[in-house]
């Protein structure tokens, strides 16, 4: 349908969409008739009144007033992220009035990649196997009118990646005690995964969400695999001879061996602790191949060269988490929890509101949070998808089932999220840390050579 050209046209589309109850829309219609206003002014007033979200406004402005409900029960509020394995929407369950994150596999992905659907369900299965307060929970998986989707816990929070990046931009340093608390929480979640023989394989700051209550939740099980995968032919086909994970926090053994265990996650968690303390990934510079080799053969720049206030005992924990040889690290996440106990035996305050996302009034009302006039949008960290995706610009106008185009995104916004996040970078002043992608032939050959060297150094 053509885009509306007047405020009256806009209101008519809103009425057709069913997004706003007729009784609440009538006052807006009366106001337009009595005092003419432009579309932008009207749309802004509807958002401030909590009747529409920004995402919904953008849809209606482009003449789209259908498909705001998925499976007749999930009302679309915001687009949280788009990645290699689908788009993630913030939705309200129409009957339970609960906020959830719904990940939808795009129909074009199924057509172009026959394995996408299997991987999509594998990811959902990995999340569904877990039930722990420090891991994002799965609620449901379903198919509706050809769209495959699964429903997850919505976390109203911000990734540690984004929080520390803001600190770095302001030349501030993250408190070591807070860092210890958050790493210990993530380790507790990983211990639960380990007890179910599940390894995450892509632990990094961007995959740890901090909510308003100070709870850390591990997300993005898209690369997860069970230790005992003899009966999972899908895991074998997709993962064998393929390096999966993010180069900036990848354990040395993960680049040279397709079979890894929970100790690889401990290494990634150590790299995350390093980032919290320094504002930098362990090896921020160089190509993907050079970073992989650095993880295998080099030591990160000492934390003491960034700051002097980190206790030596905490640095010792960090160093042990990041040992090159898995046998020299802590052997379980619970060991990490216990090692951090001297810094976590006392509670800490909730994170300051400035670190949390700003919600538009409609979402804030549903979430029980005071809305912010800034309305930067809720956190976009729920796009649980393949970490091999590169930096992308989100088309804020994409609806479930539509094709996401990167070439024509005039109104999009760059969002830091798992699949679409600007490749994990500690601060704008540092070089970009690209997400790990399938390496080209020349690079892959270099990695093989580097891996051989790393294997020798690890095992000698």
Select the highest-mean-pLDDT range: 113-127, 255-269, 430-444: 255-269
The mean pLDDT of 293-300, rounded to a whole number, is 94
Q: What is the DSSP string of 288-314?
A: HHHHHHHHHH--PPPGGGT-S-S-HHH
131 or 245: which leads in pLDDT = 131
115 or 187: which leads in pLDDT = 187
Q: Determine what percent of the chain is predicted with pLDDT higher than 90.
A: 48
Residue 431 above 80 pLDDT?
no
Mean pLDDT of the chain: 78
From the number of C-beta atoms within 10 Å of its C-beta (0-12, 13-18, 19+), residue 373 rates as: exposed
Is the Cβ–Cβ distance between 142 and 436 less than 8 Å? Answer: no
- The pLDDT value recorded for residue 223 is 58
Residue 152 above 80 pLDDT?
yes
- The pLDDT value recorded for residue 28 is 73
- The pLDDT value recorded for residue 80 is 84
Task: Please compute, for residue 259, the number of CA atoms within 13 A of its CA located in the half-sphere on the CB side.
Answer: 4
Residue 374 above 50 pLDDT?
no
Residues 6+ apart with CB under 8 A from 304: 310, 315
Residue 33 above 90 pLDDT?
no
147 or 127: which leads in pLDDT = 147
- The pLDDT value recorded for residue 376 is 41
- The pLDDT value recorded for residue 310 is 97
- The pLDDT value recorded for residue 182 is 98
- The pLDDT value recorded for residue 372 is 53
- Residues, the chain: 460
Residue 339 above 90 pLDDT?
yes
The mean pLDDT of 116-124, rounded to a whole number, is 79
Q: Would you give the DSSP letter of residue 135?
A: B
3-class secondary-structure state, position 422: coil
- The pLDDT value recorded for residue 212 is 94
Residue 438 above 50 pLDDT?
no
Select the highest-mean-pLDDT range: 30-34, 251-255, 404-408: 251-255
Task: Find where tokens 């429903």 sit.
Answer: 151
Select the highest-mean-pLDDT range: 67-71, 277-281, 426-430: 277-281
- The pLDDT value recorded for residue 240 is 41
- The pLDDT value recorded for residue 232 is 42
Does an H or E element contain 86, and which? strand 86-93
Read off the pLDDT band of 226 (50, 70, 90). Answer: low
The mean pLDDT of 287-309, rounded to a whole number, is 94
Read off the pLDDT band of 134 (50, 70, 90). Answer: very high
441 or 54: which leads in pLDDT = 54
Domains of the chain and CATH, by start = 7-51 (no CATH), 70-155+357-414 (3.30.200.20), 157-354+424-459 (1.10.510.10)
Select the highest-mean-pLDDT range: 69-73, 255-259, 412-416, 451-455: 69-73
Residue 176 above 50 pLDDT?
yes
pTM for the structure as a whole? 0.76
- The pLDDT value recorded for residue 234 is 37
Task: Find where tokens 């295998």 sit.
Answer: 296
Dihedral of CA 367/368/374/379: which sign? negative
Q: Tens digits of per-residue pLDDT, 342-366?
A: 999 999 999 999 999 888 899 998 8
- The pLDDT value recorded for residue 53 is 95
From the number of C-beta atoms within 10 Å of its C-beta (0-12, 13-18, 19+), residue 424 rates as: buried
The answer to which of 1-15, 21-35, 293-307 has the lowest mean pLDDT is 21-35
The DSSP bridge pattern shows strands 138-144 and 147-153 to be antiparallel
- The pLDDT value recorded for residue 230 is 41
- The pLDDT value recorded for residue 239 is 43
- The residues annotated with a catalytic role in the active site are 202
The mean pLDDT of 115-142, rounded to a whole number, is 85
Q: Determine what percent of the chain is predicted with pLDDT higher than 70.
A: 74
Residue 395 above 80 pLDDT?
no
């Amino acid at each position: 349908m053509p885009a509306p050209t007047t405020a009256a046209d806009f209101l008519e589309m809103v009425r057709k969409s069913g997004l706003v109850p007729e009784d609440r829309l009538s006052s807006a219609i009366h106001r337009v008739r009595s005092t003419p206003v432009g579309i932008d002014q009207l749309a802004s007033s509807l958002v401030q009144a909590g009747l529409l979200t920004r995402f919904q406004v953008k849809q209606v402005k482009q003449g789209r007033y259908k498909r705001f409900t998925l499976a007749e029960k999930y009302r679309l509020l915001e687009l949280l992220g788009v990645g290699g394995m689908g788009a993630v929407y913030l939705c309200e369950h129409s009957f339970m009035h609960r906020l959830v994150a719904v990940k939808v596999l795009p129909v074009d992905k199924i057509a172009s990649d026959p394995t996408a659907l299997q991987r999509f369900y594998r990811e959902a299965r990995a999340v569904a196997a877990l039930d722990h307060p420090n891991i994002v929970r799965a609620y449901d998986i379903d198919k509706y009118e050809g769209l495959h989707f699964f429903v997850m816990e919505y976390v109203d929070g911000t990734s540690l990646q984004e929080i520390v990046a803001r600190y770095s931009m302001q030349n501030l340093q993250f408190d070591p005690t807070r860092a210890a608390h958050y790493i210990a929480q993530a380790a507790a979640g990983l211990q639960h995964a380990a007890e179910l023989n599940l390894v995450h394989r892509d632990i990094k700051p961007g995959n740890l969400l901090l909510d308003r209550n100070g709870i850390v939740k591990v997300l993005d099980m898209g690369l997860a695999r069970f230790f005992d995968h003899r009966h999972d032919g899908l895991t074998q086909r997709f993962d064998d001879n393929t390096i999966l994970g993010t180069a900036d926090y990848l354990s040395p053994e993960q680049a040279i061996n397709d079979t890894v265990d929970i100790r690889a996650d401990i290494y990634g968690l150590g790299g995350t602790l390093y980032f919290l303390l320094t504002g930098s990934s362990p090896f921020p510079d160089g190509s993907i191949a050079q970073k992989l080799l650095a993880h295998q053969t080099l030591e990160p720049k000492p934390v003491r060269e960034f700051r002097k206030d980190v206790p030596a005992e905490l640095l010792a924990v960090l160093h042990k988490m990041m040992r090159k040889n898995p046998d020299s690290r802590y052997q379980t996440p619970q060991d990490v929890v216990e090692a951090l106990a001297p810094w976590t035996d006392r509670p800490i305050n909730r994170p300051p509101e400035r670190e949390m996302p700003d919600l538009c009034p409609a979402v804030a009302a549903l979430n029980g949070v005071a809305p912010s006039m800034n309305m930067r949008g809720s956190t976009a960290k729920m796009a649980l998808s393949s970490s091999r995706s590169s930096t992308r610009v989100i088309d804020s106008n994409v609806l479930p089932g539509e094709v996401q185009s990167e070439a024509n995104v005039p109104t999009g916004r760059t969002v830091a999220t798992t699949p679409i996040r600007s490749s994990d970078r500690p601060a704008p002043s540092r070089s970009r840390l690209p997400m790990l992608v399938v390496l080209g032939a020349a690079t892959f050959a270099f990695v093989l050579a580097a891996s051989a060297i790393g294997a020798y150094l690890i095992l000698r």
